[in-house]
Amino acid sequence: MTQTEARNLKETQQVISPYSQNWDNIISKLPSGERYLYQLFTLIKQGNLTVINPDGKTFHFGEESSEAFYLKIYNPDTYDRALAFGALGFCEAYMEGWWDEENDKLAEMIGLLFRNNVYSKASQRVTIPLLIKVITQRLQTVPTNIQNSRKNVQHHYDVGNDFYQYFLDSTMTYSCGYQRKETDTLEQMQLQKYELICKKLALKSGESLIDIGCGWGGMLIYAAENYGVSGTGITLSVEQAALAKKRIEQKGLNDKIKIEIADYREIKGQYDKFVSIGMFEHVGKDSFTTFMQKASELLAPSGVGLLHTISTQAKKERLGPWVAKYIFPGGYLPQLHELTQELWAAKLTVAHCENLKPHYAETLKRWAENFNENREEIASLGTKYDERFRRMWYLYLQSSETSFRYGSLGVHQLLFFKGKEWKLDIPLNFSWN
């Protein structure tokens, strides 16, 4: 909706707001679901949200002077879904096509809800239907053993290589990039992330590197080509492994890199360097100790490792009910202190810690832009990539960007070494840049 259209809207019909004299009277006459959602929106003090309901009535929340976002609700069932299931229900309503931000500013509108604590308030809502759904899901949740870990990983990563190629860059990297300049391309951001990790690990030619959760092999390919290491990549995704092997062969690196479809708990041997990028989120809280002990086992006596993982400062809601249900089943986001405690318990000493929070927000923004530009191509891949699927993924990318930009999510890189004696071959004044 343009500014002119918005001005015409205000001129042609009454705009209802919490500042209207008859607000309480109007609200009291609305159905319970609609009333609940608008009461949530009264929390908006910073920013500007206009809601157009299915009857064409207009409700305004927040400040007039700020950039306006227009939430158009097409299906009145949106209200009851939000009333029953809070943030989960509101997100499910988007998947169904029941509402949209009219100017394609979904991430910005979600950011408005984050900044005004609307999303967190909705996430905290506990109702009988939601309680039943959560209890049912928990009863169905099983420990993150090898079989269940494989199932959870394949749910997200075996969606199809062709699908991921439509929004990732040519390196096929599905983790936080590292932005040095605003003009950096997505590919540059990912290559800079690999370079950063290689420098932190102080990689040397001839060393061995194991990558747990290697994805499509981007980290190993970069390290082999630029630092002369030999590497082993571990993944549970059949699709990822197939493409990773193909890319390694095309680059003539079969003598340097091998890819295995296996669980990290099944891996034997020792390596000079250890890395895991964007995999720890799938480990599960019950397996934190096991993962760190395995990292220690895999490292040679003087070995150095780096763990790159999404983290959270939230105490209770780690993933959010919608993400846990539709995007990352079995996932669990650690807090920073959990990571450092588990590393120490495994006799691994943290040498350096860095939060790449704003870098992931920018990475997700680029992914969402690519995704949106290639919606038709994604749809052409097959019936499983239907409109509901595409809306689900677009919401995931947009809301994730917002969570890193305004919410509790971060992404930490922890550099560590085996033992307590400082054995890192780097000067004390070393700069990763």
**What whole-number distance in Å separates Cα of residue 210 and Cα of residue 214?**
9
Q: Are 203 and 209 in contact (CB under 8 A)?
A: yes
Q: What residue has token string 């033992």?
A: 419
Please report which confidence band the pLDDT of residue 373 belongs to, taking 50, 70 and 90 as the band edges.
Answer: very high
pLDDT score of 320? 75
Q: Which of 339, 194, 344 is nearest to 281 (CA)?
A: 339
pLDDT score of 11? 46
pLDDT score of 19? 86
Rg (alpha carbons) of the chain, rounded to whole number: 24
Q: Are 262 and 234 in contact (CB under 8 A)?
A: yes
pLDDT score of 66? 73
pLDDT score of 139? 46
pLDDT score of 252? 97
Q: What residue has token string 């997100």?
A: 91
Domain boundaries, the chain: 3-132, 146-418
Fold of the 146-418 domain: Rossmann fold (3.40.50)
pLDDT score of 126? 52
pLDDT score of 314? 80
DSSP string of 12-73, one letter each residue: HSPEE-TTSTTHHHHHHTS-HHHHHHHHHHTT--SSEEEEE-TTS-EEEEE-TTSPEEEEEE
Alpha helices in 260-386 (DSSP H): 288-298, 321-326, 336-345, 357-373, 375-379
Rounded mean pLDDT of 34-63? Answer: 93
Q: What residue has token string 């439509």?
A: 166
Find residue 271's DSSP bridge partners.
299
Specify the range with the lowest mean pLDDT, choosing from 57-66, 200-209, 377-386. 57-66
Category of 56 on φ-ψ map: left (φ > 0), alpha (ψ -120 to 50) or beta: left
Half-sphere exposure in the Cβ direction for 334 (13 Å, CA): 29
Higher-pLDDT residue of 19, 428: 19
pLDDT score of 380? 95
Quick check: 244 pLDDT over 70? yes
What are the distances in angstroms from CA 403 to CA 98, 113, 360, 368, 426? 23, 11, 10, 14, 35
pLDDT, mean over the chain: 88
Rounded mean pLDDT of 12-38? Answer: 87
Quick check: 279 pLDDT over 90? yes
**What whole-number distance in Å separates Cα of residue 283 and Cα of residue 144?**
7
- Token pair of 207 as six digits: 């060393």
pLDDT score of 325? 83
Higher-pLDDT residue of 131, 190: 190
Count of other CB atoms within 10 angstroms of residue 424: 18
Give tens-digit pLDDT for 317-350: 566 788 888 887 777 899 999 999 999 999 999 9
Higher-pLDDT residue of 107, 124: 107
pLDDT score of 6? 54
Give tens-digit pLDDT for 75-89: 999 999 998 888 889
Percent with pLDDT over 70 in the chain: 86
Give tens-digit pLDDT for 378-405: 999 999 899 999 999 999 999 999 999 9
pLDDT score of 271? 97
Give tens-digit pLDDT for 126-168: 555 544 554 455 444 455 555 555 454 444 555 789 999 999 9
- Token pair of 380 as six digits: 């052409």
Q: Which residues contact 392 (CB under 8 A, 6 or more apart)?
A: 95, 326, 327
Q: Based on DSSP, count helices (H) and strands (E) in the chain, helices before strands.
A: 18, 12
* Residue 371 dihedral angles phi and psi, to the nearest 5°: -60, -45
pLDDT score of 360? 97
**What whole-number distance in Å separates Cα of residue 123 and Cα of residue 142?**
23
Would you give the DSSP letter of residue 92? Answer: H
Percent with pLDDT over 90 in the chain: 69
Rounded mean pLDDT of 201-216? Answer: 96
pLDDT score of 135? 46
> Which stretch of DSSP H or E encloses residue 60?
strand 58-62
pLDDT score of 68? 87
Q: Are 90 and 101 in contact (CB under 8 A)?
A: no
pLDDT score of 14? 75
